[in-house]
Amino acid sequence: MSSSAPSPSPDPADCGLTIFWDEKLVSYDFGPGHPMNPVRVELTMALARELGVPDRPNVRVAGFEPAGDALLGLVHEESYIAAVKHAGATGLPEIGLGIGTPDNPVFLGMHDASALVTGASVAAAEAVWTGGAAHAANISGGLHHALGGAASGFCVYNDPAVAIAWLLEQGAERVAYVDIDVHHGDGVQAAFYDDPRVLTISLHETPRTLFPGTGFPNETGGRGAEGTAVNVALPPGTADAPWMRAFDAVVPPLLRRFRPQVLVTQHGADAHALDPLAHLILTVDGQRTAYAALHRLAHETAGGRWILTGGGGYELVQVVPRAWTHLLAEASGAPIPPETKTPEAWREFVRTRTDEIAPRRMTDGTDVVEVHRWGSGYDPANPVDQAVMATRRAVFPEHGLDPMTDE
């Protein structure tokens, strides 16, 4: 069985990047002790600035408007939006809607903060769809667990789903969403489960051992949309090389066959070995390798139209800032060499802001070489290969692909 060789690295001239950012995005804050501390986004932007990413000639940082009710209503129920507003104004939970739970505690201004995050992702979608930017990023986004009528998994409004729904409203006929967060992208899948115009692919830790308990290979799309929900449920302990092997086995052949007009990606950094909430063992080096692969695929399959968001990631200092700075640099067409030292000014900022010692280099010291490609052969005794083959058998025939050969 063979897998096509990776396409060449994109030309930086084709990689204009708009970063949608507002300091108010850090107001998406569930309070002290909650794993999703917005300091991770603050430290990311600080590191990117110190390394000069926003100052590159093909990168701009842009403002945006919060999402209004009409935009949010493309995905979320009117009664739920009203409940979020009420909770955010009064501090009172809304029973049965996921608001006021340990995962999603109420905080004042909850609606405004959540609508701002969503507005940034919709602005990114608009920039890419209208040609204002080749690539557009909202690193505060990627809140992929929120459902149409309920908060879930630290997510109040589902910004990637709203952005995709906006693209469909504009006339997009094929949108692909690839989610590499360690948790299943259940909310985005649910929003488009019956819509053949949207291909959702999620690579995540098996739901047998991790929230949200969904994302099995047999979740393949509703009637009329069979094969458009794709789930790769990886065993705990999956490291860089087997993770990239699973990616190579599923994502490129499906994107090449689907030919999306726009590629939307979610980049939760919680598949890292240091993340406290999950059990995969990727490194920052493995993550930046995945970013490069997605960048190439955006150019190869979607005409370069790429919308990228953040997502999960709860090692706030050691992992998220480096991972997402690599992501932004990759999207600009000029990746940061892994051996690069983190700037002293940033390390001092980390110390004063968090009282932690920052990492000194942009690498974990792992040499990730894309040699463990699926084309090297299926091993039926390997748990990762078993997971991959379960996915390929479930969805490849719906796309006219042979699970054994990609053809």
Q: Which residues are catalytic?
A: 145
Q: What is the three-class DSSP state of 232? A: strand
- DSSP for 178-205 reads EE-SSS--HHHHHHTTT-TTEEEEEEEE
Q: Specify the DSSP element, H or E, that contains 60.
A: strand 59-62
Is the bond preceding 57 in cis, omega lying within 30 degrees of 0?
Answer: no
**Which structure tokens are listed for 278?**
């999950």
Residues 288, 118 contacting (CB under 8 angstroms): no
Supply angle C-alpha 311, 247, 267, rounded to 5: 10
Distance CA 264, CA 87 (A): 30
| Helix, coil or strand: residue 151 | coil
Q: Which two tokens stand for residue 266?
A: 């979610």
Q: Tokens 């935009």 identify what position?
A: 71
Q: Read off the DSSP letter of residue 380.
A: T
- Cα dist. 199→196, 203, 222, 248, 346 in Å? 7, 13, 12, 17, 39
**CB neighbours of 269 closer than 8 A, spacing ≥ 6?**
275, 287, 310, 311, 312, 313, 315, 319, 320, 323, 324
